[in-house]
Chain A
Amino acid sequence: MPELETANTTTESAAKERYFVRFTRQQRYMHAVLFTTFLGLAATGLVMRFSESFWARKFAAGVGGFGAILFFHKLCAIVLTIAFLIHVKEVFQRGLLRREKGIFWGSTSMVANWKDVKDLFGHMRWFLGLGPKPQFERYAYWEKFDYWAVFWGMIIIGFSGYAMWFAPFFAHFLPGWALNAVLIIHSEEGLLAILFIFAIHFVNTHLRPDSFPMDMVIFTGVESEDEFKHKRPLEYQRMLAEGKAESRLGIAPPLWLLNFSKAVGAIAIFIGLTLLVLTLTAYFH
């Protein structure tokens, strides 16, 4: 039976290689919701932003015009807003209610610290062959930037988006010119997010030689010991020193999950790069 064969091969490879958990199931789902809604928002948003371009009009005509596009844009926005609120609630609970260590400060926190500044400069010196490669902790500086860029982006884009959606309501406490400003803010920040994700995040996280063609950890939740050691030596050493290696051991990802993740990731990257090309053609037209 194919299932058994698959199970055997994965067990064998697991015996050779240990896998450690990096992301919980909830975090992986959160990323999945984030990138699906983001692709939806980007695809529909770009069509509105570049409504004069031929591909926008073709796309709009294909899906049933502006009504359908705006509906889909708002639907994705609501789902993403809910995901964002769940995340904020999670951080609040873990950090403030349960007083979990390492949420707001320390080596496992998303909050930037002095080491990140040193890593940034150290990393750039290494790019140019002027120094050793920095040793990264759980979250490297560019990962923290990704996180905060999304966090800030959600607040800015979300707020400006809802201000347009419910303009008469927001007009009760916003000045008139702010209704003009929200469109500029929404579209520029959205464009930044799209260009950043499709041109920078894709390469930094997935397409760079260390991870090419895709970093599977956000899909499978685990990564091999080799990869862990190579990418985040400080966290690896800290884990060994604290004797937590056993508790972080995970199971090797089954073949179906790897293939499924590859397919999903490839589709996401394909859509993203297509949108990137369309954006650039429209922008420099």
Chain B
Amino acid sequence: MNLAARKHARSNLRRAILAAAIGALAFALAPVALRAQADCLACHGDATATDSAGHSIAVDGQKFGSSIHGNLQCTSCHADIKAYPHPDKIASVDCKTCHADQASSVSGSVHASASDHPCTSCHGVAHYIYPKDDPRSNVYPLNVPKTCGTCHGSPDLAKKHGLPNVYPLYMDSIHGFALSKEGLLVAANCQSCHGSHNILSHTNPQSPTYKSNIPKTCGTCHAKIEADYEQGVHGKAVAGGNLKAPVCSDCHTAHAILQPTEAEFRMQSTPICGNCHKDKFSTYRDTFHSQLGSLGGYVETARCWDCHGAHDVRPASDPTSPINKANLVATCGRCHAGANASFVKYQPHANARDRKLSPALYYIRLFMNLLLSGVLIFFMIHTILWVIRSRYNQVKSRGANGGKNA
């Protein structure tokens, strides 16, 4: 019967027969409700139907029938319509009538203003709303970024609300790739971290994106890493209320998350730690590890977390820390085959400018600097005087043969 309906819908008698077909289908399933739909569709089934102001008032009956609200009567939502003909102006539909929980969540969220954020801005055209596990739905996991990106991918909106323009950042991230390239339904999309109806600002302690809640939010998927993180100094500090300590997003960023084993992330990772560990970053930059690392194409070079660990950073005094004395040969040996007890006495954060900390290096550097400046200053003066004097002699004796050996 459906087949027949489709075929006829394409014909010139589309309107009447579509109504009849839906009516017949409805008769078989839910006679009372569908008789009402058929009545409305007699007029609204015309794809060209408009109101007096010229706005389309057409409803594709078949599409509506397959939507999540397809088995409702039109008057279930358009409750103010009692009889035909109905007034020109009818009340706007209030989703809250049925979806009270969601509506109250939204009204407490950043999207509270109903005129700026009607339900349809995320769920799509009112008559064609699909369940969230239906690929046609605007809130199907693979469609969520595009739906949110309608607003959060607009530089104007970002500027207006002082928000980062996150959509392009997300789409180029590891989560975005997993979603758009692999179609991974489990990959984090916007609402995995932000929630859906009850989205709160990251400044709100109730928000899943509030700083101290982030490890738990990411841990929803990355459970093992969350467990590791909680064991490390950063996790303990955050749990203890120190919000200066980094959470996941401080190192990985919130939206532009990169695959950490890849060159691009390795290249940008050390300055991230350096944001807080300024002295350690400065001494690291004096070393060969840093010089190698800055130039690219050699991303294996030790970055902070290659030695210190990434999620469960532990102090050197902790016997399980990779930088604990007992573990150094193994840690350094991961890159330096043949590392031995003497080799690991190398100081990866030596500071040759600090006389008390590294006296030997301090004096070696001092000697080298004195040698360098002494030799250069002496010869600079010597050479300048020499050039002046030679030229003076050349000019005076007029013996210059083309500038050569006067």
Measuring CB to CB, which residues of chain A are less than 8 angstroms from any residue of chain B? 47-49, 51-52, 56-57, 60-61, 64-70, 123-124, 126-129, 142, 149, 164, 167-169, 171-172, 174-177, 179-181, 183-185, 188-189, 191-192, 195-196, 199-200, 203-204, 207-213, 226-227, 230-231
Contacts and interface: CB of A to CB of B under 8 A. Distances in A.
Interface in B356-388: 358, 360-361, 364-365, 368-369, 371-372, 375-376, 379-380, 382-383, 385-388
B372 A188 contact: yes
The SS class assigned to the A binding surface is helix
A233 to B, nearest CB: 12
A203 B387 contact: yes
Contact of B390 (A171, A176, A210): A210
14 contacts: A48-B291, A51-B292, A51-B294, A60-B296, A127-B389, A128-B389, A168-B340, A171-B342, A171-B345, A177-B350, A188-B368, A192-B376, A195-B376, A210-B394
A131 to B, nearest CB: 12
Contacts of B361: 177, 180-181, 184
B380 A211 contact: no
Contact of A70 (B292, B365, B379): B292
A176 B372 contact: no
A107 to B, nearest CB: 21
Nearest to A56: B295
A60 B295 contact: yes
A231 B405 contact: yes
A68 B296 CA distance: 10
Nearest to B379: A200
A196 B375 contact: yes
Given A209-B390, A209-B391, A176 B364 contact: no
Given A126-B389, A203-B383, A66 B298 contact: yes
B358 A180 contact: yes
Contacts of A172: 340, 342
Nearest to B388: A127
B342 to A, nearest CB: 4
Nearest to A228: B405
Nearest to B343: A171
A69 B298 CA distance: 10
Interface stretch (B50-58, B137-145, B159-167, B282-290): B282-290
A180 B404 contact: no
B340 A128 contact: no
Interface in B309-361: 336-340, 342-347, 350, 352, 358, 360-361
A195 B342 CA distance: 34
Given A168-B343, A181-B361, A196-B376, 8 more contacts: A69-B295, A127-B386, A184-B361, A185-B368, A188-B372, A207-B387, A208-B383, A209-B400
A65 B298 contact: yes
A204 to B, nearest CB: 6
A177 B360 CA distance: 8
A66 B295 CA distance: 5
Size class of the B contact interface (CB-based, 8 Å):
35 or more
Given A67-B297, A69-B295, A169 B338 contact: yes
A122 to B, nearest CB: 13
Contacts of A49: 291
Nearest to B391: A209
Given A169-B338, A183-B288, A48 B404 contact: no
Interface of B: 285, 287-288, 290-298, 301, 336-340, 342-347, 350, 352, 358, 360-361, 364-365, 368-369, 371-372, 375-376, 379-380, 382-383, 385-391, 394, 400-401, 403-406
Give me the 9 closest cross-chain CB pairs, A-B, nearest first: A65-B297, A176-B345, A66-B298, A171-B343, A188-B368, A168-B338, A60-B295, A127-B385, A51-B294
A183 B287 contact: yes
A61 B376 contact: no
A66 B343 contact: no
> Chain A CB within 10 Å — which of B293, B361, B372, B383 has the most?
B383
B91 to A, nearest CB: 64
B339 A230 contact: no
A84 B297 CA distance: 31
Given A127-B385, A169-B338, A200-B383, A52 B297 contact: no
B296 A65 contact: yes
Contact of A188 (B287, B365, B382): B365
Contacts of A192: 368, 371-372, 375-376
Contacts of B347: 176-177, 180
B298 A167 contact: no
Contact of B342 (A60, A176, A209): A176
Contact of A185 (B287, B342, B364, B391): B364
B372 A174 contact: no
Nearest to B296: A65
Contacts of A211: 404-405
B372 A191 contact: yes
A125 to B, nearest CB: 11
A285 to B, nearest CB: 14
Contacts of B388: 127
A13 to B, nearest CB: 13
A179 B298 contact: no
Given A64-B297, A65-B298, A168-B336, A51 B343 contact: no
